[in-house]
Amino acid sequence: MRGTLNDQSLIYLQIAQMLEDDILRGIYREEEQVPSTNELARVYHINPATAAKGINLLVADGILYKKRGIGMFVASGAEQALRNKRKSAFYDEYIKPMVKEGASLSLSGEELLTMVRKAIEEGEEK
């Protein structure tokens, strides 16, 4: 598990986010074991209960599941579920506000799409 904790959000949310990121990057594949709460607590110098709270968020979302006496594992379909969740969040947090701002500037849909295409092209050039 990679990453560092910061003061920008709650620690257990950061733990869940880092595990999600690692699943999406293929560091933890479906049906593979993830670090235990004690391992997370030791690596990040946090309370095991805080680490467990982050893991339990992912269990509640069906991303992780527990094998009794063994540990926590990545659920089948977890990667796609995370991609769908992130795409939905991207739409709500970025696309909808962008369209709203475009409307407030009297941009047509085509003008907005042209701007997006330009940004994509500029991003591909780098």
Q: How many domains does the chain have?
A: 2
Q: Say if 97 falls within a structural domain.
A: yes
3 within domain boundaries: no
Q: What is the pLDDT of residue 1?
A: 66
- C-alpha neighbours within 13 Å on the C-beta side of residue 112: 15
Residue ranges of alpha helices (H) inside the chain are 11-24, 37-44, 48-60, 78-90, 96-104, 109-125
72's tokens: 């926590």
31 and 65 in a single domain? The answer is yes
The domain containing residue 105 runs over which residues? Answer: 79-125
Same domain, 62 and 102: no
In a domain, 60, yes or no: yes
How far apart, in whole angstroms, are the C-alpha atoms of residue 93 and residue 59? 24
**Does any domain span residue 53?**
yes
Round to whole Å and give the CA distance between 39 and 48. 8
Q: Please give the pLDDT value at position 2.
A: 66
pLDDT profile of the chain (126 residues), mean per 10: 78 96 96 96 94 97 96 97 97 97 96 95 86
Residues 72, 96: one domain? no
Q: From CA 19, how far away is CA 61, in angstroms rounded?
A: 13
